[in-house]
Chain A
Amino acid sequence: LIPYVVWEQVKGEEEEENALEVKETKVKGKSGKFFSVKLPSPLAPGAKVRVSVEMVFTHVLQPYPTHITQSEKQFVVFEGNHYFYSPYVTKSQTTRVKLASRNVESYTKLGNPSRTEDTIEYGPFKDIPPYSQDTLKVHYENNSPFLTITSMTRVIEVSHWGNIAVEETVDLKHTGAVLKGPFSRYDYQRQPDSGISSVKSFKTILPAAAQDVYYRDEIGNISTSHLLVLDDSVEMEIRPRFPLFGGWKTHYIIGYNLPSYEYLYNLGDQYALKMRFVDHVFDEQVTDSLTVKIVLPEGAKNIHVDSPYEINRASDELHYTYLDTFGRPVIVAHKSNLVEQHIQDIVVHYTFNKILMLQEPLLVVGAFYILFFTVIVYVRLDFSITKDPAAEARMKVACITEQVLTLVNKRLGLYRHFDEAVNKYKQSRDISTLNSGKKSLEMEHKALTSEIASLQSKLKTEGSDLCDKV
């Protein structure tokens, strides 16, 4: 695990909010990483400016001894530089090393350092030439948890129906001194200082609106966790299934739902998703490799990603899930060596036609429609191989009787008309209208009766006894 410069940030002393622009450069003939910083205003000769530089290194503390038993304390070695490695002359410099505990085994003594309880102060050194290096080595006790996330996968699934689902798969490993020998549960529970460098639990801070949080692994739900909902965040105290000693690893999956109105912004058809690239897992976290997958709804086009720092984008994939026809676009990004300072927002811009949102319900409706339609058609089809004469005759008879019924009903209607005409005559004593009405009615009556008679004869041919009833 090579020490690696992970994070560089330069701030001007006056304006604490704004960070100055930092770019990586190269200097000919000298090894190491060089950065160029842009000052807010040009510096006049003889003028002074105060700058503060913050650098984070990972895997710099090496456990020494590398293997310890359960009852021993953990000691680490820090190797650094006494002087400030810069291309400029340093007039005066002090180095202060702040340690995690008071128990220091050994430290390099350059320039008579002074030592308080947990800090060692070297200096002040005067007039140091540029590019000067001198190894600083401190061997001290450090029992703070040395957890590393060896690999983490973060999947963010965006749905325009109002929900964003986030799932993180985390592989944790204890990278401190490796446990040698047996693990005694009795000592661990009864002796207070047994296994002090082991990790029992840690706190994960989730976004404030997180709901339906689940914490599980390959064999099921992990029951040892506590959720605390606060005003501005959701704190989850996670206890891995077993305490992590040196060299032990574990794996878990944590997931939650977020409302989309907090993270998804839109103007017409243009949408912007603003979410954190990596989220808080535990304080002062170190992630060796991270994969982020953002699943956008079907039909998202013109995808454009704005990230606050360099990320490696792999090619976009397609993800198929419920009610998908042509797959959802997935943005895949990788990054290695991340720390807590990398928790920043990443913005994804895309266009999405709002009509496409109807695609999902219409798909369901269409499926049911086809199903019912097929059933209706199928029921009415006749797949019999032989012609069954009796059944056919019955069907014909049924058809004819239906026709007879309609005619009889029409005749009944005629009677009603006749009744109405008679009533009118009673009221108006108009014989002529009565007679005309009567004639038309009688004509219709005759026509209907003849039709009924013809149908009756047809029935006779069929040989049915219904004609008698008629």
Chain B
Amino acid sequence: VYFAGVMVRLMLTLTPVVCMLSAIAFSNVFERYLGDDMKRENPPIEDSSDEDDKRNPGNLYDKAGKVRKHVSEQEKTEEGLGPNIKNIVTMLMLMLLMMFAVHCTWVTSNAYSSPSVVLASYNHDGTRNILDDFREAYYWLRQNTDEHARVMSWWDYGYQIAGMANRTTLVDNNTWNNSHIALVGKAMSSNESAAYEIMRSLDVDYVLIIFGGVIGYSGDDINKFLWMVRIAEGEHPKDIRESDYFTPQGEFRVDKAGSPTLLNCLMYKMSYYRFGEMQLDFRTPPGFDRTRNAEIGNKDIKFKHLEEAFTSEHWLVRIYKVKQLDNRETLDHKPRVTNIVPKQKYLSKKTSKRKRGYIKNKLILKKGKRPNRKTV
């Protein structure tokens, strides 16, 4: 009972307890209201059958009838609950049980069993609108990527990718390797170049993230982002600091007032790529994130090492392809120009004696002649 109270998902542990208790209650009630009838009626019937003697049927019938009537009259005066009340109570209990079964099936089908892979929303006129983005993206991965492609995503979607998209993942729901998950978290929270190094070392082909800003889905990766940062900080405290991602006031904001580390990290860029141009409806400015209810800060996002491979219909799943290294790396500085002809020809003032490389008092030797020694 304690576990069920702690976490709603563990309500199942409450089931056997509730079943047993309710069974005891119902059986007690029924015993009281049904059992008494049977016990009282049995004795009079038995008496009459014993007295049914075939030798003298005529007389004895009357006697038995009289005896029976007498007993039943007695019964009525002794028993406080009449048969009517018993019937009503039994019927009520049965109806309660039946309604409960109906109610349970309705509640579980509506409230407790929403498959989180297919999202359903209801329009004003009651029709159901199905958002099948997850399966769309996973099926695209399955059909249109190389069989041996590797997908990097947060561990929540690992089994889904392995099952539906049939591709290798880096981390999945079996979260036994915390340092590996921390590496993925570090890649998601660093800026693009640092993340690219990690992705090259892990040999990643595709990166998959969940973005709920267009439809207002609150379980997306930006909401889980702080956890990624914390897990990464646990393994790499020198590179990632959680406080970097908050504003100086200590808030987690994605708009212009957000911290620059957050606005330049890979997860932010991947979530909001091209989102700054998108205007969802005329009341809100372009780039308005419905989940965080804020206009995003960094609208002009450009990637150097990633390329958008696929985005699902309602922008829920975004897949990026990791580009290979360029054939030639571009230089950071301008190349040096070496063919400049100087405008003025500079004449050196140094005489032959003062030029560099000139040995002073050099002995000149001629063959056949004695050298003149000036200084001895």
Contacts and interface: CB of A to CB of B under 8 A. Distances in A.
Interface residues of A, number: 21
A414 B37 CA distance: 41
Contacts of B139: 217, 219, 241-242, 250
A220 interface: yes
B138 A219 contact: yes
B310 interface: yes
B157 to A, nearest CB: 14
Given A183-B310, A241-B136, A250 B274 contact: no
B264 interface: no
Contacts, number: 60
A36 B97 CA distance: 81
A182 B136 contact: no
Given A183-B309, A183-B311, A219-B164, A190 B278 contact: yes
Contact of A182 (B144, B308, B313, B315): B308
A186 B140 contact: no
A214 to B, nearest CB: 16
Contact of A185 (B130, B132, B163, B311): B311
B135 A219 contact: yes
B90 interface: no
A183 B138 contact: no
B300 interface: no
Interface string B125-153: 00000101001111110111000000000
Contacts of B312: 185, 242
B307 interface: yes
A186 B276 CA distance: 10
Contacts of A217: 139
A437 B278 CA distance: 115
B34 interface: no
Contact of A251 (B132, B143, B274): B143
A183 B143 CA distance: 15
B277 interface: yes
Given A223-B130, A248-B144, A251-B143, A183 B308 contact: yes
A251 B166 CA distance: 14
B304 to A, nearest CB: 13
B118 interface: yes
B140 A242 contact: yes
Interface in A152-185: 181-185
Interface residues of B, number: 27
A181 B310 CA distance: 11
Interface in A239-270: 241-242, 247-251
Contacts of A186: 274-275, 277-278, 311
A250 B143 contact: yes
A173 to B, nearest CB: 9
A245 to B, nearest CB: 9
B132 A182 contact: no
A189 to B, nearest CB: 8
A251 B139 CA distance: 9
A242 B309 CA distance: 13
Contacts of A247: 144
A97 to B, nearest CB: 34
Contacts of B135: 219-220, 241
A102 to B, nearest CB: 32
Nearest to A247: B144
A344 interface: no
Nearest to A179: B144
Nearest to A412: B54
Interface string B156-176: 000000011000000000000
A454 interface: no
B81 to A, nearest CB: 41
A297 to B, nearest CB: 36
A224 interface: yes
A248 B118 contact: no
Nearest to A248: B144
Contacts of A220: 135
A242 B136 CA distance: 6
B316 to A, nearest CB: 10
B138 A182 contact: no
Contacts of B118: 223
A-B CB proximity, top 4 nearest: A185-B311, A182-B308, A186-B274, A241-B136
28 contacts: A182-B307, A182-B308, A182-B309, A183-B310, A184-B308, A184-B311, A185-B308, A185-B313, A186-B274, A186-B275, A186-B277, A186-B311, A217-B139, A219-B139, A219-B142, A223-B118, A224-B132, A241-B132, A241-B135, A241-B139, A241-B140, A242-B136, A242-B139, A242-B140, A248-B140, A249-B143, A250-B143, A251-B143
